[in-house]
Structure 1
Amino acid sequence: MNLPDNIAGLIKAQNDLNSTAFAGFFTAEAQVSDEGSSYSGRDEIKQWIQQASEKYQMQLKPLDYTQNGPAAELTVEVSGTFPGSPAVLQYHLELDGPLIRSLRISG
């Protein structure tokens, strides 16, 4: 599967457990929604993904990707040390050029 550079980079950053690189793929005012919580801006996004990665050692495997203008959907298999691993999740993205403006994760 051919992924855009920014999406491939986001997955690589997650799999490398590199929260700084992960947050760098978002706009300064980006919003993330996951498991009923919201995170705003790169600092909060970095803290969120760092805590989740340390706790669950999450690894992403892309299964499908579609994009229509700035709206994109990435289907990933997420594995780690959480109950029910692996799980298939949907990443609903709103892109702003090469950066991500919003990410909503659903299962």
Structure 2
Amino acid sequence: MDMPLVITTYLTAHNARDVDSAIAAYASDAVVIDDGHSYPGTDAIRAWLAGAAAEYTYTTELISATRLDEERYDVVQHLDGDFPGGAVDLHYRFTLRGSRIVRLVIEP
């Protein structure tokens, strides 16, 4: 599946729970929306990444990646773990500006 380097680098870091490498993929004015909560700016995103990494143990499998237009990509990952429900397919909807992530929406 062909994705921009910033997305593959981010997903690898996120899945490895490497907060420093993951945060480097974001623009300073980026926003993440996950589970109905908004995390604007890299400080809030860093705190979200650190919390998300510590809360549950899970594995991921890349299911698909679709380029929607020049800046937007929809990446679907299957997660199995000790979170409520135990398994879910999540859409990671990325918006890029150049080589940085400016928006990420994570939802089923």
Pairwise same-fold verdict (TM > 0.5): yes
Structure 1 stretches of 4+ with a deviation exceeding 4 A read none
Q: For residues 4 and 38 of structure 2, what CA distance do their matches in structure 1 show?
A: 25
Which sections of structure 1, spanning at least 5 residues, go unmatched?
none
Which sections of structure 2, spanning at least 5 residues, go unmatched?
none
Q: What's the TM-score, normalizing by structure 2?
A: 0.90
Q: For residues 44 and 58 of structure 2, what CA distance do their matches in structure 1 show?
A: 18
Conserved? CA contact 1:14–1:60, under 8 Å: no
Conserved? CA contact 1:23–1:43, under 8 Å: no
Look up the match of 1:48.
48
RMSD across aligned positions (CA):
1.3
Look up the match of 1:29.
29
Q: For residues 25 and 17 of structure 2, what CA distance do their matches in structure 1 show?
A: 14
Look up the match of 2:76.
75
Q: Percent identity of the aligned residues? A: 27
Structure 1 residues 55-92: Cα deviation after superposition (integer angstroms, max 9, x where no partner): 11344321111112101111111233212222100111
The count of corresponding residues between Structure 1 and Structure 2 is: 107
User: What is the Cα deviation at residue 27 of structure 1?
Assistant: 0.5
Q: For residues 58 and 4 of structure 1, what CA distance do their matches in structure 2 show?
A: 24
Q: What's the TM-score, normalizing by structure 1?
A: 0.90
Look up the match of 1:14.
14
